Structure 1
Amino acid sequence: MALAVLAVAAGAALVTVVPARALPTNLVQNDGLETLGPDGFPTCWERSGWGDNDHTFTVVPDAHGGDSAMEIEITRIVSGDRKTMMLETGPCAPQVTPGHQYDLGVWYKTTTPNTVTTLFRHDVDDGWQYWTDLAHLPVAAEFTQATVRTPVVPPDTDQITWGVTIYGVGTLITDDYSMTDPDEPEPEPECTGTAEQCTAGSWEVLATESPARGIHAVLLHTGKVLLIAGSGNDEGAFAAGTFSTALYDPATDTFESIPTPSDLFCAGHVQLADGRVLVMGGNRNYPNPANGHGYEGLRTSFIFDPATEAYTPTNDMNAGHWYPSATILGTGDVLSFGGLGEDSSGTVVAERWSHAQDRWLGMGQVNQTWSFWGLYPAMILMQDGRLFYTGSHVFGNGLPGTGASVFDYDTGVITDVAGLRDKDERDQSASVLLHPAQDQRVLTVGGGNVDTNPDANRLVDIIDLKDPDPAYTPGPDLPQGHNHDGSPQTGDQGKMYLSTVLLPDGLVFETGGALHNRADAVAEASMFDPATDTFTPGMATDPVDRGYHSVATLLPDGRVLTAGNNPGDGSFDNRISLYSPPYSFAGDRPEIVSVAATEWTYGSVQEVTVDGPVASATLIRPAAVTHSSDPNQRSVALPMTVDGDVLGLNVTSNPNLAPPGWYMLFVTDAAGIPSVAKWVRLS
């Protein structure tokens, strides 16, 4: 994409938007050592070395990324060395081009300076032979990245293999290998739209309005979007018992009204392992000043089945919940916390949905800490099975302490997490587990406070949950936009009620929001790049205000759907907007021609056929979003092997990284252009 200059809004100053450069193709197969063979050793890698020495090769969880790294320990040495090398057979040894040089990268720890990068090459006439030792790696107690460039590839060499050698007493741990061709031409896709579309994307507002207020949005594996309103924050509808749900079909731009059995206004919801949607709690009653009660939560719960497009009741929960969380676990069970109870006070009862029994468990079957987690607490599943409360919530101040914490359900231990700035002004901030989920990094953006009603803030905090003592660190400020009256924001003015959507190219689309409680929409949208921890401002802004009670969700074709806006005057905007990101106009999109199987198992290798070269493959969990919150949103990288147009996609063996359920499978080419998704079910 060419550099472009565009105006972000009428009368706005011009800003320069530089599209992210596509990353060069990593030629290393199983680069993160995550896929293990029957012998427990990483596929495409072999134990190697020679001489008189005592040694061990061990796959260890002390990894730079993911769950696996390779440890070599030498306890006695008279001669020789030991190394982990790429297999010389099949597609494991990278193909190379004569006359080119290649950049080799590895993350490592070593206790000995007797560590070196070693290369072998395959010559067409002479076969495999030792080529050279490159950079020696200094002692490093923490993971350190080493990058070295090869000599020029000889004229008759077609493959190389390489690894890291240890030739002294000590311990070497390696992970996350890379090999790229700096001479690889950068793809320059031809823009098929206007200059602004190719750098900022564009919006379409549907001519037909939704028959239900879009307070909750759930993308079904049928491709349709469930828009749940219940009474929709309308006391008249509640009094009349008029509750609504709409089903939107992006393929036809049509809506269907769905009979709604209860007031699911501000319920919780989550995608279950089989693709049904569990909807829990909701509104038992609106505030009644005469009896001193506020909103009251329901115990009732329902399943929406995409096959029948209808709700059916489940057993009741143990307590009422209005604004509850809902997080699916690696087992397929669901944990739910918080909200307001039947007496309008904060609910301290934890709830657990049993995947095996298809029901809510009784009070005595659920581990209770009797803790109040607030309203819609963002509870993200970590790779070790614990939950991370990000500090994003709804209505007023955050929880006591630091405002964020790690919760171990099995032991009941709650550990404060430091670093979240202005924890009592993160009301209706947005939190998202960044791509790839294997990196375990969470972004928390913006927020305000509906009680004190200051200007919403621009704060962005980032945390690495793989750290032994994780803590938030400051990220870049949220880009500033334009206020409700068209004036530019100033100083620290930011927004609450915003949405963050994971896109198939690995970026996060940030859109919508308002400066104050239920008022003053902000015109601003940006892209966040987790590879550089930077925002690209100046994305096209939604023509419709999206503040309180607004939602955004990724569609299988790569567009983003937004709905809802409920200002303090009680009105509601029922228009639907569709955003086409810049990649929609960047040229021909890669295509997934076929998927050998749609039912995937953990730790498997799945065969997918594409129509040409691709650089990456990703699973994205479909949205179940409300109030800036979708704690189950995640994008999981799929390491791959390539045989022509046939990909072997390596599925994680850890269900905590990708909880069971339906996912959108995307492939992306070297220019960062994604395919349309295919649906697969992981179990």
Structure 2
Amino acid sequence: MLRDSRRLRPLVLTLIALTVLVGVNLPPAVAYVQDWQYQRLINSVEYQRQYGKWDVLDLPPDQRVNAIHSALLPTGKVMLIAGSGNKEDMFATRALKSLLYDPATGESKIIPVPDDMFCAGQTLLPDGRLLVAGGTARYEKLDGAVTYAAGAMRVKNENPDVGREIPAGTEFVSPEGKAYRTIRPNVVPPATKVATRAGATVTAAEERVFVESVTPGPQGVTLQPGLQYAITGLSGAAAKDVYGLGEALTLDKQNYQGTEAAFTFDPVAETWSRVDDMDFARWYPTLTPMPDGRVLALSGLDNIGNVLNGETEVFDPRTNRFVEDKGLTQYFPTYPSVFTTAAPGRLFYTGANSGYGPAEAGRAPGFWDMGTNVITPVPGLRDPSLLETAGSAWLGPVQDQRMVVVGGGGIGESPLTTGRIDEIDLDAASPAFRAGPVLPDPVRYPNLTTLPDDSMLISHGSRDYRGKGSSDVLDAHLLRAGPEPGGTLVEAADPHVGRNYHGQAVLLPDGRVLTAGSDPLFDDERNTIPGTFEQRVEIYSPPYLFQGDRPEITDAPAVMRRGQTVPVATPDGARVTKARLMRLMSSTHVTAVDQYSVALDVRAGAGGVEVTLPGRLETLPVGNYMLVLVDDRGVPSEGSMVRVP
């Protein structure tokens, strides 16, 4: 027995050691098996046919940017604009850049930008150029970080014969000797002179500029508004004609400040060009394309850091100039979601916005009549106080005039968030929002992308402000248009990369969806580690790309006109049931007011199909589109670039 027990001892010790080893390594082993099973599942044909697939792009390190704005260009390439990318050191060194990515080849290249387009507005023009207007003139300074008292100075010019340049560094001195300097250059126009029977009436011209004390600390504070400031270097009549009227100059928080600068990007030459400056500086503006190809510039923070008080201007691509429309004076929070509608001269504001503005002003959704400047509110929206960082988009083709508002949160750093999906039919006799599906997770910053099969991809976002508490929502859904209010919500494959603030999504010509950007406030659940900007790009392939052969467009006109019937060559004409024009879209800050789908009449024709375009300008605005044919399985062709002049 003793001999047998000695023989068994090594075996027992080995078994004990193996048991301990398995016990220590069991959790990692189980995790490895679970991950292997998950990867096998999501890469299976059956799964992708039902849910689709996400792929993370492997861009080289020197080709990665802090994407803030995304736009699909008529060349099929995607422009990702960073500017300073929310990095003040990049702003200071003027290391401002954009990335041009070709989804067809995977090639990319960095293109410097001529000004800080961080948090500008953007949209495509009818000739294919990308218009970017506004951006960052100065980064914010938070309470406690302000060294030099600062604020607004109203510069007056009483001379009707000549304007006056106010260079950066111009010094204004108060009656008690306190001095303040301008940060940026400006020009004060001549005064207005109107002839009267008694002679003439002169009304002083006025421009507001931002000034900063030359003395640090509390000594530079002036709380008394309305003091008259002399301009150093002016004397005699000039000193009498041109002067400053100061507002309160304090050490309080200073907001971001906008710029008037505007640029276009030529997608063929791949170069930036400056166009006419806007009349007003704008940071966080919306650029809403009009049916005739002009562009409305709305809202934003001005050169002082205040929300513009309803000043609206129009860009005409034929003249490359902005002109203020003094009849349009509605106040909106920054990045308002304002869309054109099927009714001439009537816009629709969904109430969604991103960022700055008081709770009691410009928050209610409604129709904006451009002739009367009146907004008519619409009722029925659930969680009406949770519209900041909400998404808005057309559901189905634009002819249906059905729009949804998805998710959103409370104003500022509010932890309140909703998963509401509400729909409104803009053509109804009494338009009102109706309750649709509810997302499983409440979400702000959701990306909404209209797809050519009349569904909508809803992806990403976070449950809390800028992803606080590691609250990124790593799921996606497809909202399918149907008779039910808000359509039908079905699950899609889960993205691998979380995206919240500064996230974007754009539809690609091949029917996939490119997503980029994300700027979390923190990188940990306890909110102690400063956030890292997400530079990875991820692309979603919807389920329709896994159903077998796709219909193919072998030839189509590059220019199509309203009301025209045109032939489209395809070997798959017998199974084509729908045709869509998908407008080339741009996206930033949950705002994508230039994306929509236009349904075309389609019928079999010689060598393929014939498609008939709508005849109304409001239904089919001037612009750049992708023609897509959809077969009886809901599978779309690749898009063929089309311009509607």
Q: Indicate if the aligned counterparts of 1:249 and 1:255 stay in contact, CA closer than 8 A.
A: yes
Q: Assess, with a 3 A threshold, how the Cα gap between structure 1 residues 402 and 370 changes in structure 2: closer, same or farther.
A: closer
Structure 1: 5+ residue runs without aligned partners?
1-9, 15-190, 481-492
The alpha carbon displacement at 1:476 in A equals: 1.2
Q: Indicate if the aligned counterparts of 2:389 and 2:409 stay in contact, CA closer than 8 A.
A: yes
1:525 maps to a residue whose letter is A
Match of 1:439 among 400, 411, 418: 400
Give the distance between the partners of 2:607 and 2:567, measured in 1 at CA: 10
The alpha carbon displacement at 1:436 in A equals: 1.2
Pairs within 5 Å for 1:604-623: 604-612=564-572, 613=574, 614-623=576-585
Counterpart of 1:374 in structure 2 is 333
Larger gyration radius, structure 1 or structure 2: 2
Q: Assess, with a 3 A threshold, how the Cα gap between structure 1 residues 464 and 534 changes in structure 2: closer, same or farther.
A: closer
Q: Indicate if the aligned counterparts of 1:338 and 1:373 stay in contact, CA closer than 8 A.
A: yes
Match of 2:282 among 321, 333, 340: 321
Give the distance between the partners of 2:98 and 2:367, measured in 1 at CA: 35
Q: Indicate if the aligned counterparts of 1:401 and 1:416 stay in contact, CA closer than 8 A.
A: no
The alpha carbon displacement at 1:241 in A equals: 1.4
Counterpart of 1:585 in structure 2 is 546
Give the distance between the partners of 2:58 and 2:482, measured in 1 at CA: 38
1:633 maps to a residue whose letter is Q
Give the match's secondary structure for 1:264.
coil
Match of 1:510 among 450, 458, 478: 458
- The yes-or-no answer on 1:634 pairing with 2:485 is no
TM-score (norm 2): 0.72
Q: Deviations over 1:576-603 (max 9, x none)?
A: 11111111110110101111x2111111
The alpha carbon displacement at 1:538 in A equals: 2.6
Give the distance between the partners of 1:588 and 1:629, measured in 2 at CA: 34
Give the distance between the partners of 2:515 and 2:451, measured in 1 at CA: 14
Counterpart of 1:681 in structure 2 is 643
Pairs within 5 Å for 1:227-266: 227-266=80-119
Q: Assess, with a 3 A threshold, how the Cα gap between structure 1 residues 341 and 525 changes in structure 2: closer, same or farther.
A: same
The alpha carbon displacement at 1:552 in A equals: 0.8
Pairs within 5 Å for 1:188-227: 194-208=45-59, 210-227=63-80
Give the distance between the partners of 2:446 and 2:375, measured in 1 at CA: 28
- The yes-or-no answer on 1:403 pairing with 2:364 is yes
Q: Assess, with a 3 A threshold, how the Cα gap between structure 1 residues 669 and 399 changes in structure 2: closer, same or farther.
A: farther
Counterpart of 2:319 in structure 1 is 357
Counterpart of 2:157 in structure 1 is none
Q: Indicate if the aligned counterparts of 1:507 and 1:529 stay in contact, CA closer than 8 A.
A: yes
The alpha carbon displacement at 1:450 in A equals: 4.8
2:45 maps to a residue whose letter is T
Q: Assess, with a 3 A threshold, how the Cα gap between structure 1 residues 399 and 624 changes in structure 2: closer, same or farther.
A: farther
Q: Which segment drifts farther, 293-302 or 406-415?
A: 406-415
The alpha carbon displacement at 1:445 in A equals: 0.3
Q: Deviations over 1:123-143 (max 9, x none)?
A: xxxxxxxxxxxxxxxxxxxxx
Q: Which segment drifts farther, 514-523 or 210-219?
A: 210-219
The alpha carbon displacement at 1:277 in A equals: 0.8
2:256 maps to a residue whose letter is Y
Q: Indicate if the aligned counterparts of 1:561 and 1:578 stay in contact, CA closer than 8 A.
A: yes
Pairs within 5 Å for 1:82-93: none
Give the distance between the partners of 1:333 and 1:395, measured in 2 at CA: 25
Give the distance between the partners of 2:360 and 2:425, measured in 1 at CA: 21
The alpha carbon displacement at 1:560 in A equals: 0.7
Q: Indicate if the aligned counterparts of 2:331 and 2:362 stay in contact, CA closer than 8 A.
A: no
Counterpart of 1:280 in structure 2 is 133
Q: Indicate if the aligned counterparts of 1:497 and 1:628 stay in contact, CA closer than 8 A.
A: yes
- The yes-or-no answer on 1:663 pairing with 2:625 is yes
Structure 2: 5+ residue runs without aligned partners?
1-33, 151-251, 522-529
- The yes-or-no answer on 1:537 pairing with 2:490 is yes
Give the distance between the partners of 1:192 and 1:497, measured in 2 at CA: 28
The alpha carbon displacement at 1:452 in A equals: 4.8
Runs of 4+ in 1 over 6 A off after TM superposition: none
Counterpart of 1:496 in structure 2 is 444
Give the distance between the partners of 1:451 and 1:578, measured in 2 at CA: 30
Pairs within 5 Å for 1:294-313: 294-313=255-274
1:350 maps to a residue whose letter is T
Give the match's secondary structure for 1:599.
coil
Q: Deviations over 1:204-261 (max 9, x none)?
A: 1111154321110000010100000111011111111111111011122122111201
Give the distance between the partners of 2:392 and 2:359, measured in 1 at CA: 14
Q: Indicate if the aligned counterparts of 2:477 and 2:491 stay in contact, CA closer than 8 A.
A: yes
Match of 1:643 among 595, 601, 605: 605
2:57 maps to a residue whose letter is L
Give the distance between the partners of 1:196 and 1:431, measured in 2 at CA: 29
The alpha carbon displacement at 1:469 in A equals: 2.6
The alpha carbon displacement at 1:680 in A equals: 0.7
Q: Deviations over 1:404-447 (max 9, x none)?
A: 01112233222112222222211111100122100111011000
Pairs within 5 Å for 1:51-62: none
Give the match's secondary structure for 1:556.
coil
Match of 1:547 among 500, 524, 538: 500
Percent sequence identity over matched residues?
Answer: 36
The alpha carbon displacement at 1:355 in A equals: 3.3
Match of 2:385 among 408, 424, 427: 424
TM-score (norm 1): 0.68
Counterpart of 1:83 in structure 2 is none
The alpha carbon displacement at 1:648 in A equals: 1.7
2:337 maps to a residue whose letter is A
Match of 1:338 among 290, 293, 299: 299
